[in-house]
Structure 1
Amino acid sequence: MRAAVPTPLLRVGLNKVALLRSSRGGAVPDLTEAARTLIEGGCRALMVHQWSDHRHVKPHDVTALAALDAVREGHATLHVGGDLREDLGALLERTPGVGCWVVTPFEAHHLTTQRGWHPGDDQLRLAHWARTLSGRTRLSVFVDPEPEAVDLVARAGVAAVELNCRDYVEGFGTPAQEGALEALVRAADRAREHGLDVNAAHDLDKRHLPPLIRAVRPTLVSVGHAFVAAAVIAGLRAVLPGFLHAASED
Structure 2
Amino acid sequence: MTKLSVNINKIATLRNARGGNVPDLLKVAADIQKFGAHGITIHPRPDERHIRYQDARDLKAIVHTEYNIEGNPQHNFIDLVLECKPTQVTLVPDAIGALTSNAGWDTLKHQSYLKEVIQEFQRNNIRTSIFVDANEAMVEGAKATGTDRIELYTESFAHQYGLGNKEGIKPFIQAALKANELDLGINAGHDLSLDNIRFFKENIPNLLEVSIGHALISEAIYLGLENVVNMYLQKLK
TM-score tier, shorter chain, comes to: over 0.9
Matched residue of 1:172: which SS?
helix
Query: Aligned partners of 1:85 and 1:109: how far apart in 2?
Result: 14
| Counterpart in the other structure of 1:30 | 24
Q: How does 1:169-208 map to 2 (within 5 A)?
A: 169-174=158-163, 176-178=165-167, 180-208=168-196
One-letter amino acid matched to 1:201? G
With structure 2 as the length reference, what TM-score do the two structures score? 0.92
**Secondary structure class of the residue paired with 1:155:** helix
Deviations, residues 139-167 of structure 1 (Å, cap 9, x unaligned) = 10110000100111211111100101111
Q: Secondary structure at the match of 2:187?
A: strand
Match of 2:208 in 1: 219
1:175, 1:38 → 2: CA distance? Answer: 31
Amino acid at match of 1:95: C
Residue number in structure 1 paired with 2:95: 107
CA distance in 2, matches of 1:122, 1:173: 32
Identify the match of residue 66 of structure 1 among 41, 51, 60: 60
**Equivalent residue number for residue 167 of structure 1:** 156
Which runs of no fewer than 5 residues in structure 2 stay unpaired? Answer: none
Q: Deviations over 1:17-40 (max 9, x none)?
A: 110011112211111111111111
Aligned residues: 235
Q: Alignment partner for residue 222 of structure 2, among 229, 233, 241? A: 233
In the TM superposition, 1:79-118 aligns within 5 A as 79-96=68-85, 98-118=86-106
Q: Which amino acid aligns with 1:43?
A: A
SS of the aligned residue for 1:219 comes to strand
Q: Does 1:54 align with 2:48?
A: yes
TM-score normalized with structure 1 length: 0.88
1:244 corresponds to: 233
Query: 2 CA distance for matches of 1:206 and 1:246?
Result: 32
2:109 and 2:226 mapped to 1: Cα distance? 46
Residues in 1 aligned to 2:34 and 2:66: alpha-carbon distance in whole angstroms: 13
What do residues 71-108 of structure 1 show as CA deviations (whole Å, max 9, x unaligned)?
Answer: 2xxxx111111112111111111113x11111111123
Cα offsets for 1:100-125 (capped at 9, x unmatched): 11111112343111110015753333
In terms of mean alpha carbon deviation, does 112-121 or 34-43 score higher? 112-121
Which residue pairs with 2:141 in the alignment? 152
CA-atom RMSD in angstroms: 1.7
Aligned to 1:3: none
What is the SS of the residue equivalent to 1:29?
Answer: coil
